[in-house]
Chain A
Amino acid sequence: MCSLDALQKLTLFFLVAFFAVALTTGYWAVVRANDLNARGDNLRRLERERRVARGAMLARDGETVLVETVFDEDGLARREYHVPALAPVTGVWSVRYGNSGLEAAYDEWLAGRKGEPFTQLLDNLLHRPVRGYDLVLTIDPALQAEAVRLLGNRRGAVVVTEVQTGDVLALVSLPTYNPNTFEEEAEALQQSPANPLLNRATQGLYTPGSVFKIVTLAGALAKGKTSLDERWQDPDGIFFVNGFPIRDFEEPPQDEFDTAHALAYSSNVVFAQLGLRLGPDAMRETARAFGFEDVPPIAIEAEASRLGRDDFLLDDVGLASTAFGQGQVQMTPLHVNLITAAVAHNGQLPRPRLVQAIQTADGETLQRIHPLTWKRAVSGRVAAQVREAMVVAARDGYARAGAPACTTIGGKTGTAQLGGTLAPHAWFTAFAPADAPRYAVTVIVENGGLGGDVAAPIARRLIEMLVCTP
């Protein structure tokens, strides 16, 4: 055994001690590095974030800049939102309050954290300034601006999509906030009774009213409970379920009509009977097939539409009122739009697409986001029948108000009664053109009044813009 003298033992002690320091440093610098660097309270992360040239957001044409990053003289980044009304889509980049909308959903790309590993390593080593990637959105800024103008200072939402691809051309939620001044106004915005931070188009849950009849009709047709040419008698505009009266909102102009015209005249009497024929299970099954109780796969924050509690549907009155969109049914405007798109496009709900491509600052495409189907709601045959009924509604029924002169559409109005003294929500949803549908347009005006009077004209103008202007 080799014996060490005191000095050698002391050297050994220091060797071990210094080695322990090096190992501990290595533990924090390598093993725990990712975990510590990602901590929310790590000021370094924020400092670095403020110096990154975050990627821009471009409009549908790939040229118009909607959002971009500018630097002030201290080298700190500031986001400029050129279309403030697009806030429900873009969200806001806020170091203090956290990101929202697409800024949050595509944060890794916009901040340049994602990408080729080798390039990233090289950038990191050489301290190259990070340039985030650009997003090419599906938004058409002109359409968006027109929808905002039409809605004016009323509360509500507008959703316009392309039925085949699910491209969201416009997504309006009013009132909204100005993302350019968000950080200064955040406190006031959070407390505002108008709730401007809520994205009404994707998160707002509204009673759909007659708009829901599309789902009931599709379910009844799919289950063989009715056909489009079945004749219905409705002389009084009233129907009793277990002694409870169900009334039409407006008495139909004829006493006898077929199922298609029942949709056109928005007959609660007929749809209550269709709901009772369907039964609670088939009703829920149909609703689920149409995407109820499931958050639509959109990049930004969204809510799932609800049909209602089980015990409510088991009651016949509940089931009947659900069938014409009252009761406990709650839908987001986006979901109403997707249902319209499904009817217009072979019964398939498209996956709503907000971003079509991610590209570098030089315009080189890095990743393309392909249009996909979300789910199949009904067969193409049933979808074609419902489509026909909606075209009838826009030709003969109340949905006429939404049809522009230059083209034919299929549409459905909705007037969601809220009880009490509140004015009803005004709904209108439509697809256009009727023979080869390309666009689905949905409008809701909160407490606006009659769907045909308030919401339909807005949709008409948007459809004119989409279809009739070359």
Chain B
Amino acid sequence: MLIRWQQTLTTRLPTWRWQEAILLLFPLTLALAGFWLLNRLEASAFGPRWWPYWVFVGLVLIGHVGLARFNPAANQIIYPIAITLTTLGLLLIERLAPNFTLRHLLNFGVGIVLMVGLAGWPHLLRTLERYRYTLILPGIVLLVFTILLSFTPLGNGQSLFLRIGPIGFQPSEPLKVLLVIFLAGYLDFHREKFKHIRLGRFWRDRRWLWVYFPMLLMWGFAMLLVVAQRDLGAALLFFGTFLILTYLATERADYVLIGLGLFVAGAFVAMNLFSHVAVRIAVWRDPWRTATTTGFQIVQALLAVASGGILGQGLGQGFPDLVPVVHSDFIFVALAEEFGLVGVSAVIALYMLLLDRGFRIARQQNDSFHFLLAAGLTALICLQAFIIMAGSVKLMPLTGITLPFMSYGGSSIMTVYAAIGILLNLSSSSVLFATSAQHITGAKQA
């Protein structure tokens, strides 16, 4: 009887995403409380204002209704997690850089539309699979732009930022997602080959070229970024994502170790050849000595974390604005100062939860391309979060990348919501599979 009831519940497509709706109440209440506090404290230079809150609520509801309309079977946990993180980010941006709030909300809106579109497009996965190699073409264009931008004064070299008229654009952001799609396709196609290569017979069995040629390419690209962008962050993110996907496809640790060895060796050589890389490393090792010059940013960041303590100063009551670019790359530090260790732990827990849900979706896939895609996108987001968080607290050398979902940065928030859209699409394709599987097991048990 119970099993029958379960079957009817799971086999019927849900009419409304109630779980998601209830979970969304939490971030919306958080945003309400946050805006009430900010308006009461008059922390923002623009004075008390409520419209950003209503715009935010409207956009969140558009996303929710859009998902319910176009892909009701998609995972219901991921969207609320993303919105909770974005809520914290929005509150901090409204408090730190209120002149950016409108732009941030617009970027977020575009991100929501991208997410709903990608999640609701029924042919998305087939299209991606069909054009998995063709997709690399726009990717190469973006890559060329990324590298060119690093060298030419066309963009601001360090931030990899391209400006065409009024629209600012960071080509390295969408490149990350395209790279994951391409690598998932490539590795899926060659995975059997990679699994059985024996490195001992490298001359007679030359299939290793299929692994090491792309690895060397990726490595070269990463090194180019290290040198040109004066920053390990983006390079580490690209190369790390590549290694993670290779590992997932082949389940061979030796590739990862060799890749890491290459990266460390390359970074070491770059450190000796290029002074700006050496400066980065020196600042990381002892920022206190240069607290007023090169180490200023990280020292201010650590002072902000220290000021936050366990419970934080409270939203709008600390001084995170003393840290340079706090609303973008260093939003984690603002979080630490105003929400304390408790808030930091909560945000880390949210990323872990996202990782868990993403990997669950990956595990549900019956196609290895889909598996690699889901796991790759999840790992990409979490790796990016880890690199910038670790950089902000001096666990790793400092890097200039954004914190996914939270930081101000148009390309970043659009890209990350697009990735979430693909993940949601994958989750619904697997739900159909999962329900049918459950149907079979249920029938067996009955």
- A: residues with CB less than 8 A from B are 5-7, 10-11, 14-15, 17-18, 20-22, 24-26, 28-30, 32-33, 36-37, 39, 41-44, 47, 125, 127
Please state if B322 and A10 are interface contacts (CB–CB under 8 Å): no
Please state if B341 and A29 are interface contacts (CB–CB under 8 Å): yes
Please state if B305 and A17 are interface contacts (CB–CB under 8 Å): no
Give the complex CA separation of A50 and B317 in angstroms.
Answer: 14
The contact string, 1 if C-beta is below 8 Å from chain A, for chain B 348-387, is: 1001100110010011000000000001000100100010
Give the complex CA separation of A22 and B346 in angstroms.
Answer: 10
Nearest-neighbor residue (CB-CB) of B253 within chain A: A9
Please state if B251 and A6 are interface contacts (CB–CB under 8 Å): yes
- B: residues with CB less than 8 A from A are 244, 247-248, 251, 291-292, 300, 302-311, 313-314, 317-319, 322, 336, 340-341, 344-345, 348, 351-352, 355-356, 359, 362-363, 375, 379, 382, 386, 389-390, 393-395
Query: In the complex, which of the residues B247, B291, B359 contacts A41, with contact meaning CB atoms closer than 8 Å?
Result: B291
Give the complex CA separation of A7 and B322 in angstroms.
Answer: 41
Q: Which residues of A contact B352 (CB under 8 A)?
A: 14-15, 18
- The 4 A-B pairs at the shortest CB distance, nearest first, are namely A36-B306, A28-B305, A24-B393, A33-B306
Number of A-B contacts (CB under 8 A): 103
Q: Which residues of A contact B322 (CB under 8 A)?
A: 43-44, 47
Q: State how many angstroms separate the Cβ of A267 from the closest Cβ of chain B.
A: 63
Query: In the complex, which of the residues B247, B336, B362 contacts A29, with contact meaning CB atoms closer than 8 Å?
Result: B336
Query: In the complex, which of the residues A22, A32, A43 contacts B345, with contact meaning CB atoms closer than 8 Å?
Result: A22
Please state if A21 and B309 are interface contacts (CB–CB under 8 Å): no
Please state if A29 and B303 are interface contacts (CB–CB under 8 Å): no
Give the complex CA separation of A44 and B251 in angstroms.
Answer: 49
Give the complex CA separation of A24 and B386 in angstroms.
Answer: 12
Given contacts A28-B302, A28-B306, A127-B317, contact A21 B359 (CB under 8 A): no
Please state if A7 and B306 are interface contacts (CB–CB under 8 Å): no
Interface class of chain A by DSSP: helix
Query: In the complex, which of the residues B247, B292, B363, B393 contacts A21, with contact meaning CB atoms closer than 8 Å?
Result: B393
Please state if A7 and B355 are interface contacts (CB–CB under 8 Å): no
Give the complex CA separation of A456 and B306 in angstroms.
Answer: 59
Nearest-neighbor residue (CB-CB) of A31 within chain B: B306
Give the complex CA separation of A96 and B206 in angstroms.
Answer: 70
Please state if B351 and A18 are interface contacts (CB–CB under 8 Å): yes
Given contacts A7-B375, A28-B305, contact A21 B291 (CB under 8 A): no
Interface class of chain B by DSSP: helix
Given contacts A21-B390, A29-B305, A43-B319, contact A6 B247 (CB under 8 A): yes
Q: Which residues of B contact A14 (CB under 8 A)?
A: 352, 355, 379, 382, 386
Give the complex CA separation of A30 and B359 in angstroms.
Answer: 33
Give the complex CA separation of A43 and B292 in angstroms.
Answer: 12
Q: Which residues of B contact A17 (CB under 8 A)?
A: 386, 390
Please state if A5 and B251 are interface contacts (CB–CB under 8 Å): yes
Please state if B356 and A7 are interface contacts (CB–CB under 8 Å): no
Most central of B306, B310, B359 by chain A CB within 10 Å: B306
Give the complex CA separation of A355 and B391 in angstroms.
Answer: 49
Q: State how many angstroms separate the Cβ of B249 from the closest Cβ of chain A.
A: 9
Given contacts A25-B393, A36-B306, contact A125 B311 (CB under 8 A): yes
Give the complex CA separation of A136 and B347 in angstroms.
Answer: 49
Please state if A29 and B363 are interface contacts (CB–CB under 8 Å): no
What are 23 contact pairs spanning A and B, CB under 8 A?
A: A6-B251, A7-B363, A10-B244, A11-B356, A20-B395, A21-B389, A21-B393, A22-B341, A25-B336, A25-B344, A28-B393, A29-B308, A29-B309, A30-B309, A30-B341, A33-B306, A33-B307, A33-B309, A41-B291, A43-B303, A44-B318, A125-B311, A127-B313
Q: State how many angstroms separate the Cβ of B271 from the closest Cβ of chain A.
A: 23
Q: Which residues of B contact A32 (CB under 8 A)?
A: 302, 306
